[in-house]
Structure 1
Amino acid sequence: MDLREIRAFAEGDDARHIDPSATARTGAPHIRTFHEDRDDTLLLVVDFRPPMLWGTGAALRSVRAARLAARQGWQAIARGATLAAISVAADGIGVVPLGGGTPQMIRISHMLASRHDQALGGGGGAPSLEEALVRAARLSPPGGEVILATGPDGLAPEDEPALARLARRRRVRLLLPLDPLETSPPAWPLPIRAGALTRLARLAPFDHAPLAQQLRALKVSLEVIDHDAG
């Protein structure tokens, strides 16, 4: 078995894995964690930028993205995988480094919740995903899996080189939670106002085929989750 990390003891950890040297050196309990397969790692990247902070259904699109990512994380923990997470918002990036076990997923859940609260506070613009994708390539080892939860407009052209590099030696999936307005828009025209200008526009359902084709060229798979898919 390979050493994964030495970290501070957390509630739920196995006391049999306490590391005597680190505990004596720091004065606080530390444990060693191990894993058998270096390739069984999952990195969650969740988008909390302003275009995600809206919704017409039961939850904001950002909340649904976080829930989808968390579900994948708990499934990975159940099979004994190593897990890390990145959140990207208008005010920067939050990171939880690689770790394992239930305490790791609790740390990730807390990070996502607190970063989402900060994102709802407003401020800042809508930075690209490039920095998060570059960070992801450093966190996720070759052979690992990366899940990116974002919206239909989350990927900008300047992000594509970083995404392609990330997918070169990793399995990358993009989870796309769609809002009811994107899957079943009203059939009648809606008024749209921009300052003093007013227009009528008819919304069309989101067509994911162009995005899927774009991602295939980058070696990234797409998973579309409709608003009523759970």
Structure 2
Amino acid sequence: MTGTAAPADTGSAALSRLQLLVNRRLDGLLQGDYLGLLPGPGSEAGESREYRSGDDVRRMDWPVTARTTVPHVRLTVADRELETWLALDLSPSLDFGTARMLKRDLVLAATAAMTHLTVRGGNRVGAVVATRDGGLVRRPALPGRREAQGLLRTVARLIDDADGGRRTGPPDSLAGLIDALNAPPRRRGLAVVVSDFLDPPERWGWPLRKLAVRHEVLAIEVLDPYELELPDAGVLELVDPETGVRHEVRTGDARLRERYRAAAAAQRERVAAAIRAAGARQVRLRTDSDWLLDLVRFVAAQRHRRTRGGSR
């Protein structure tokens, strides 16, 4: 397999190759020790530094701000044991893919990378998985590489067991998936939502906001290039994997392709706006790009953002 693709199948051999790929490339590209993809807010007060655009206003250091007349935020020391929860969307819309992999394979790849990045230092990793039938499968947050590998095998099995049928569960399953991380209350940590976010933001935006009140939240959006623009391929028969409804689309119509591109761009912007409004961070992974490199760039940007600038 190449360094940019996840395996098309999810057997044990393919899963082992995926883990080997993640381990080699992440360890090679991310030098130095790190506690996780995002260190987490922590609970122990640290130093103060000047406020920068994008900082959480809830961490304003008002005494220092009053003394210096310059806005400052109070940093916190990340807990050594970070609890990470993954909310994984495996609904039928993830069965789509026109490039190097299906979107559901990209979900597994992102899960492998996340577990590798957060399992160090005794950190605990757990997951809630939304299955095709609208059910939820839970894996408790436990420390250790063996438990992380067990979590990956569970996700791979759920993907492998999918029969390609349409959704039979409720249409707002993404909201239910996110709410599964809100209750019961869990210790503060990192919550990662992996989905294509095709459900309307009006359904899952508020649960995501509630989640971000207690946890640092990362939204990993998985995309396929043909979800953003249609190719000029004549008449195509498209099937909605969620409902089974079929549509005949004349992709040779340039005006139709432009309307589709504009509507898709507007949809993705609504998703991004809802994630920003919730106070979460977002990274997009595409089936036609080097998803590991995209993750590495995001991690490096987060580490730089947290360490740049002088402290007071």
Distance change >3 Å, CA 63–CA 155, structure 1 → 2: farther
Shift of 1:65: 1.4
Q: 1:126 to 1:174 in 2, by over 3 A?
A: farther
Moved over 6 A (4+): 194-197
Partner of 1:191: 235
What do you get for the CA RMSD once the two structures are aligned?
Answer: 2.8
- In the TM superposition, residue 71 of structure 1 has moved relative to its aligned partner by 0.6
Q: C-alpha separation between the residues in 1 aligned to 2:87 and 2:246? A: 39
**C-alpha distance in structure 2 between counterparts of 1:77 and 1:155, whole Å:** 32
Q: Is the 8 A contact 2:86 2:193 kept in 1?
A: yes
Q: Which has the higher strand share?
A: 1
Alignment of 1:77-116 (within 5 A): 77-91=119-133, 92-116=135-159
Corresponding residue number in structure 2 for 1:6: none
Tell me what 2:195 maps to.
150
Equivalents in 1 of 2:126, 2:209: separation in Å?
20
Distance in 2 of aligned mates of 1:160 and 1:54: 24
- 1: CA distance, partners of 2:217 / 2:227: 24
Once the two structures are aligned, what percentage of the paired residues are identical? 20
Distance 1:124 1:224, change over 3 A: closer
- Compute the displacement of 1:139 (Å): 6.0
For normalisation by structure 2, the TM-score amounts to: 0.55
Structure 1 stretch 92-101 or stretch 152-161: which is displaced more?
A: 152-161
Question: Does residue 1:43 correspond to 2:104, yes or no?
Answer: no
**C-alpha spacing 1:154/1:229, structure 2 compared with 1 (3 Å):** farther
1:161-203, Cα deviation, whole Å (9 max, x unpaired):
22221111111111012213235642x2643558897442424
Give me the whole-angstrom Cα distance separating, in 2, the residues matched to 1:220 and 1:88: 20
Structure 2, unpaired ranges of 5+: 1-77, 239-244, 251-255, 292-312
Is the Cα contact below 8 Å between 1:42 and 1:83 reproduced in 2?
yes
Report the counterpart of residue 229 of structure 1 in structure 2: 290
TM-score if structure 1 supplies the norm length? 0.73
The answer on whether the counterparts of 2:84 and 2:191 sit within 8 Å (CA) in structure 1 is: yes
Higher relative contact order (CA 8 A, sep 6+): 2
Provide the residue aligned with 2:116 in structure 1: 74
Return the alpha-carbon distance in structure 1 between the equivalents of residues 246 and 97 of structure 2. Answer: 25
CA distance in 2, matches of 1:45, 1:155: 17
CA distance in 2, matches of 1:221, 1:137: 18
Superposition map of 1:164-179 within 5 A: 164-179=209-224
Change (3 A) 1:51 1:198: closer
For structure 1, the residue ranges without an aligned partner over 5 or more in a row are 1-35
Indicate how the Cα distance of structure 1 residues 140 and 81 shifts in structure 2: closer, same or farther if over 3 A, else same.
Answer: farther
Alignment-mate amino acid for residue 191 of structure 1: V
Q: Deviations over 1:21-54 (max 9, x none)?
A: xxxxxxxxxxxxxxx9476111111111011111
